[in-house]
Amino acid sequence: MNLIIDVGNSFVKLAVFDGGKIKHTEIVELNLILERIKAIKSTFNTIKKTIVSSVGALSETDIKVIGLYFNLLILNSNTKLPYTSLYKTPKTLGVDRIALVSASVKNYPNNNVLIIDAGTCITYDFINNRNEYLGGSISPGLRMRYKSLHNLTANLPLLNTELPNSIIGNSTKSSIHSGIVHGVLKEMDGVIEEYKEKYSDLTVILTGGDSNFLSKQLKSSIFATSNFLLEGLNFILQFNSNE
């Protein structure tokens, strides 16, 4: 069994995998990570290996303790990956993007795959059918767009994310919802179409916190999945363990 540790700024996703299958997932506050890992270790006593991504938020003490419990792999730009990366600045490439591309290799080998991660930012990552990662693009996510309109203007309110009823907003609030949500959807559909013009056999994956909200509104055919990043981290760990 493997333990997957995906560290965010305030919260941590923990997942237990048995081979390629998820047996347990939970989200915990960062300050509770060692307590929860100890509990998971007690429940799943056959866990031998773990991978940690986004280690910047973890203290050296946390990392040392985790390393005492399990054989530890820290994901970074030097980690051996199951694909060839043609990215020109690998040291600046987010570990979340690395994990998502790895998941696409596991689930859709030798395919042209576009992975869209709709979270704080919207990232687009492309790997071709020769197992070569070419890169992609980054744009602001839904919440970032709502916050930007509020923070960078004098009078626009900060709203919760909401699906607009019409492209035509008949109030300031409905205009904001229309501009942001339709803007993101048109962006995604446009990016997907442009990739399809170059790669007609394209597979499109949508994941991330806003994937459920957006998936039913997109015109393009996509696969929406919630655990894609965790699957990618587990695959990287397996790949480095020669399993």
Binding residue ranges: 6-13, 87, 94-97, 117, 120, 172
Tell me the torsion sign for CA atoms 173, 178, 183, 185. Answer: positive
Nearest-angstrom CA–CA distance, 160 and 205? 25
Cβ atoms of 142 and 118 within 8 Å: the answer is yes
Asked whether 168 and 179 are in contact (CB, 8 A), the reply is: no
Q: Is 125 a catalytic residue?
A: no
- How far is Cα 126 from Cα 112, in angstroms, rounded to an integer? 7
Annotated binding-site positions for substrate: 87, 94-97, 172
Residues at the annotated binding site for ATP?
6-13, 120
Q: Report yes or no: 126 and 138 within 8 Å, Cβ to Cβ.
A: no
Q: Which amino acids are annotated as binding site for K(+), given as ranges?
A: 117
Active-site annotation holder among 96, 125, 201, 210: 96
Catalytic residues: 96
